[in-house]
Amino acid sequence: MSRHALLSDAQRHPIETAHFDLGRRDIVCYWTLSADEIFGIQRRRRDSNRFGFAVQLCLLRFPGWPPRKDSPVPGALLRYVGEQLGIGATSIEDYFRRQPTRSEHLQEIIDLS
């Protein structure tokens, strides 16, 4: 049986990239970490894990799904998270190399919600 896509590629693209063109106001609105979130993030051992956990948390908040290895996160969003944590945005590359860690963090974030 063939599967029909609910959305065409042209319809899906703006939804999947909505977070690419956020202005500063929206970045601050959706991507600002609370003191409790930062406390939980700081429990991670490595900068790359702290940074990746925070990015997953923010992406689940907006646009509503976790990052994919093959889908880049906009630099402005990475820089904003990095500023809040005092971590360089390049730490995300190390984080994406280990799928089990990303999956564990995603499950933890879901469990906290």
Q: pLDDT of 53-107, one tens digit each?
A: 999 999 998 888 887 766 788 889 999 999 999 998 887 888 888 889 999 999 9
**In terms of residue numbers, what domain contains 54?**
11-112
Domain count, the chain: 1
- pLDDT digits 0-9 by tens, 4-31: 678 888 887 777 777 778 899 999 999 9
Q: End-to-end CA distance of the chain, in Å?
A: 37
How many whole angstroms separate alpha carbon 86 and alpha carbon 91? 11
How many whole angstroms separate alpha carbon 69 and alpha carbon 93? 9
Distances (CA, A) of 62 to 39, 41, 43, 97, 113: 21, 18, 23, 23, 14
Backbone angles phi, psi at 94, to 5 degrees: -65, -40
Does residue 1 form part of some domain? no
How many whole angstroms separate alpha carbon 91 and alpha carbon 93? 5
pTM, to two decimals: 0.84
Residues 6 or more apart whose CB falls under 8 angstroms from that of 6 comprise none
The two three-digit tokens of residue 23, written as one number: 């202005």
Does residue 3 form part of some domain? no
Residues 6 or more apart whose CB falls under 8 angstroms from that of 29 comprise none
How many whole angstroms separate alpha carbon 50 and alpha carbon 108? 13
